[in-house]
Chain A
Amino acid sequence: MTVVPPREAPRATGRRRPSALASWALAAPFALLLLGTVLVPIGYALYLSLFTERLSGLGFDGPRDVFVWLENYATVLTDAAFHEGVGNVARYALIHVPLMLGGALLLALLLDAAMVRLRQVWLLSVFLPYAVPGVIGGLIWAYLYSPNIGPLNDLLPWDPLGSGGIMPSIVTIATWQWLGYNVIIFWTALRTVPRDVLEAARVDGAGPIRTALSIKVPAIRPTVFVALVFTVIGSLQLFTEPLVLRTFTGSVTSTWTPSLYVYESAFISNDYGRAAAASILLALACALLSALVMRLSARRSR
């Protein structure tokens, strides 16, 4: 009774589910890349972070990898240079994150206001720095800050490349680079706020500032939180700008941020165990912070 009549067989095969093999053929190239360039390197770094190079015996056999448990992590976590780098990144983030998101939000709200003309021109001009590679952005600003070359050294009341001015100088570069990117993201999100809600607010007598703060900003809160996550992760990884400025000033040390610390331990001190441990710690910090921000955003938007 349950035997399928032969005539219906073609339709049955026509409705077949895709074979797992064919599906994996499409997914495999990326899966392999992810495995080979993300998962395996992380695993290898974890492994390496547990070893250190020591001279064996009397030193006649040359250096040997010795399993040291978490010693490399302890070394990094108690290293004054690492602490200083973490402190720098924390101070940097405290200035950069509010400045970036506040500035981008303000510009997006202004551009969303009805009266502004030439909107495309404003959007494009603030977005242009995003097209500039980070190294080149760093170089341009390094010249602008340089005495005898750039105008900023004379214009600013402080020395932009001196030890006191270097932090605002680096914040200025990074904010310049990413401001327009966030403006565009916020502005496009603002466009999706229903116009009849805004119209209702206007009829109720809310002014543009009131509307912006009570309706528009809450409406795009999820977008702002995503931008917050990316800005925070970006801050933790601060590397290119200080590295480029290092050439122009002695105010930036070789371990000025945790990323520079990783670079220094690997390529100047050739201590791969310590460098791997610092890399893992950096990745963990990024993961924890983004999980934290996500969690906060989930709670807030409820």
Chain B
Amino acid sequence: MTRPTAAPGRTSRWTSRGAVYAVLVIAALYSVLPLVWLLTSATKSLGDFSTTSAFEFADWNLWSNIGDLFAAEDGVFLSWVRNSLLYAGLGAVLGALICAACGYAIAKLDFPGRRVLFAVTLTGVLVPTTALALPLYLLASELRVVDTFWAVFIPLLTNPFGVYLARAYAEAAVPDEVIEAARVDGAGELRIFFRVALPMMLPGVVTVLLFQFVGIWNNFFLPLVMLTDPELFPMTLGLYQWSTRVSQFPDYNPLVITGSLLAVVPLVIAFIVLQRQWRSGLASGSVK
């Protein structure tokens, strides 16, 4: 019956295919064009920046822009790079390990207080970060640790969602029999965790680590509240501070733009390289 209408069916299939690709192209342009603008703008001199059109490459000035960036204000940008790497790198590794240990304990060990701990952890997932930043600041100022590395680093280690994920991974990846067997062999609980459970949970833990790294790298509110010493800033806060000066001092424009490019490129590369990893990670985080 459908045979005679095959020809119109085919054209409508062609138009619907066209519509599908049109939507995808628009979405891709919306997502990527601002990044293309960042790339082209970072290669321009201050003069070309305001006179050439947005997406065209003018004279290649990227290297001198980068040179200016690292020379500005006694090379403070290098400290920001170092700080971002330190906050995010160390914070992600340590934070993921802490999440893994706690998630494993909640999933696999029966101890008093376990249910309460899990319930409080779930509440912690829902407490908004902006509502928490001010109380953290007030507490830190009471303890006189405002404007120190630790005031930013320690709160960023806390990742309730990571514990939630780690618990799910431990549940799925570590069989009770294996733990039981290790106990029969006389291994202590800590040893079982590090030697037996952690390797089995490793793909999940790497996912937690990845997302914690991105979360800390992108974090802004907490450093904004806690820090006044530019030497302690992560890149996000430093670039924000520079951006507040651009209306008065246009010289800061190339610094902000080139600095932004350098803050974005490592993560973009990491996401392209680790595609499989983050995609499976997102999936396990969203599907209960």
Q: Which residues of A contact B (CB under 8 A)?
A: 11, 14-20, 22-27, 29-31, 33-34, 36-42, 44-45, 48, 103, 106-107, 110-111, 113, 115-116, 120, 122-137, 139-144, 148-151, 176, 179-181, 184-185, 188-189, 192, 222-223, 226-227, 233, 236-237, 239-240, 243-244, 247-248, 259, 262-263, 266-267, 272, 275-276, 279-280, 282-283, 286-287, 290
Contact = CB atoms under 8 A, between A and B. Distances in A.
Interface string B147-163: 00000001101101001
Contacts of B283: 184-185, 188-189
Interface string B194-226: 000000000000000000001001101100010
A131 B268 contact: yes
A41 B111 CA distance: 26
B27 A127 contact: no
A279 B34 contact: no
Nearest to B242: A139
B230 interface: no
Interface stretch (B58-66, B69-77, B127-135): B127-135
Nearest to B23: A110
A135 B224 CA distance: 11
Given A27-B117, A244-B240, A275-B134, A184 B155 contact: no
B128 A30 contact: no
Contacts of A113: 20
Contacts of A115: 17, 20
B15 interface: no
Given A107-B24, A226-B286, A240-B220, A38 B124 contact: yes
Given A15-B184, A29-B101, A267 B225 contact: yes
Interface of B: 17, 20-21, 23-24, 27-28, 30-32, 34-35, 37-38, 41, 49-50, 53-55, 98-99, 101-102, 104-106, 109-114, 117, 120-121, 124, 126-132, 134-139, 142, 154-155, 157-158, 160, 163, 180, 183-186, 188-190, 193, 214, 217-218, 220-221, 225, 235-237, 239-240, 243-244, 246-247, 256-257, 260, 263-264, 267-268, 270-272, 275, 279, 282-283, 285-288
B45 to A, nearest CB: 14
A42 B101 contact: no
A116 B283 CA distance: 21
Contact of A222 (B117, B189, B271, B288): B288
Contact of B239 (A135, A150, A222, A239): A135
Contacts of A184: 279, 282-283
B24 A110 contact: yes
27 contacts: A16-B183, A18-B189, A19-B189, A27-B106, A29-B102, A38-B124, A44-B138, A110-B24, A115-B17, A116-B24, A125-B32, A126-B31, A128-B32, A130-B214, A131-B214, A131-B270, A132-B35, A132-B264, A148-B50, A223-B286, A239-B130, A247-B247, A259-B130, A262-B134, A263-B225, A279-B135, A283-B128
A140 B186 CA distance: 58
Contacts of A180: 31
A15 to B, nearest CB: 7
Given A42-B135, A48-B138, A282-B131, A247 B54 contact: no
A139 B287 contact: no
A18 to B, nearest CB: 5
A38 B282 contact: no
A14 B106 CA distance: 22
Interface core residue of B120, B190, B256, B260 (most chain A CB under 10 Å): B260
Contacts of B105: 23-24, 26-27
B184 A14 contact: yes
A252 to B, nearest CB: 13
A266 B141 CA distance: 12
B20 A110 contact: yes
A140 B260 contact: yes
Contacts of B193: 26
Given A42-B135, A129-B34, A148-B50, A25 B124 contact: no
B286 A188 contact: yes
Interface core residue of B110, B129, B135, B158 (most chain A CB under 10 Å): B135
Given A23-B111, A266-B134, A266-B225, 4 more contacts: A244-B243, A247-B246, A280-B131, A286-B127
Instruction: List 7 A-B pairs, minimum CB-CB distance, nearest first.
Output: A22-B189, A23-B111, A41-B135, A30-B102, A45-B135, A188-B283, A283-B131
Given A39-B120, A139-B239, A236-B128, A33 B282 contact: no
A149 B53 CA distance: 8
Contact of A179 (B27, B221, B270): B27
Contact of A181 (B23, B129, B139, B282): B282
A110 B109 CA distance: 44
A286 B275 contact: no
Nearest to A22: B189
B227 to A, nearest CB: 12
Contacts of A135: 220, 236-237, 239-240
B82 to A, nearest CB: 17
A160 to B, nearest CB: 13
